[in-house]
Amino acid sequence: MREIIFDTETTGLDPKTGDRLVEIGCVEVVNRFPTGRNFHVYINPGRSVPKEAFDVHGLSDAFLADKPRFDDVADAFVAFVGDAQLVAHNASFDMGFVNYELKATGRLTFGTERVVDTLMMARRKHPGAPASLDALCNRYGIDRSKRVKHGALLDAELLAEVYLELTGGRQAGLDLTVSVQSATSGETGGRVALRPRPVPLPPRLSPLEAQAHAAFIATIGEKALWSTYFDDGERTETA
């Protein structure tokens, strides 16, 4: 199952009153496991950034002046999302801005049936407890020391960890490689094998237990199943 954990930063609270997106950050999760494949872009909103918004995310007019407009990055964003489920914290806010921008540029919007709101999940799982992203990171022991200001990609990465905890914890799959890919208005990356254990685990059988096992197998005779595959502890070819 492929899911996109995402977050946005904006110039304000309501796109209908002229506020716009200034940043989108996405993290890909497959079968509840982050793949390392991300999408991140800053956006020129075509308007000034109010001080209140700057104090939250630190993205100034000067910084955003040479960044692409939403129309220039929308296709790459939609392609990255594909048919995946979208996951956001206080999703109505982020989806409100994303869908407003998509509609304004003549594109199809995302349906609410594709969206999971982790704020609602947290409130159901921990009724009465604080449910902000910071509070959930503290609850689950997730390091948020780099979150000096809000940032879409950083917040999406933190939310991905929170989401795994809200859905039962990290579940490792059987795939021994992970896709490492990061995109800033695009994509790069490849397949990277997970590192092997630097020091093998010690054997759990004592020499005495191993001898006892070998003696027991010897009593079974040549028709023992083990004899079909092993000969003196070494693998042999079978017909």
Sorted by where each begins, the domain ranges of the chain are: 2-193
Q: What is the mean pLDDT of the chain?
A: 84
Looking at the predicted structure, is the pLDDT value of residue 173 above 90?
A: no
Confidence of residue 179 (pLDDT cuts 50, 70, 90): very low
Class of domain 2-193: alpha beta
Question: Is the model's pLDDT at 217 over the cut of 50?
Answer: yes
Average pLDDT over residues 132-148: 88
Q: Quick one: DSSP state of residue 207?
A: H
Higher pLDDT, 60 or 173: 60
What's the whole-number mean pLDDT along residues 152-179? 76
* Tokens found for residue 29: 């999760």
CA dihedral 177, 4, 130, 124 (to 10 degrees): -100
From the candidates 40, 89, 150, 213, give the one annotated as an active-site residue: 150
Question: Does residue 131 carry a pLDDT above 90?
Answer: yes
Check residue 175 and give its pLDDT.
45
Has residue 238 got a pLDDT over 60? no
Coil vs helix vs strand at 59: coil
Active-site residue 40, yes or no?
A: no
- Is residue 11 within 8 Å of 47, Cβ to Cβ? yes
What is the reported pLDDT for 207? 83
Quote the CA–CA distance of 60 and 51 in Å, as a whole number.
9
Q: What average pLDDT does this structure show over 192-212?
A: 69
pLDDT above 60 (res 193): no
Give me the pLDDT at residue 185, please: 44
In this predicted structure, which of 6-15, 34-43, 183-192 has the lowest mean pLDDT? 183-192
pLDDT at 71: 97
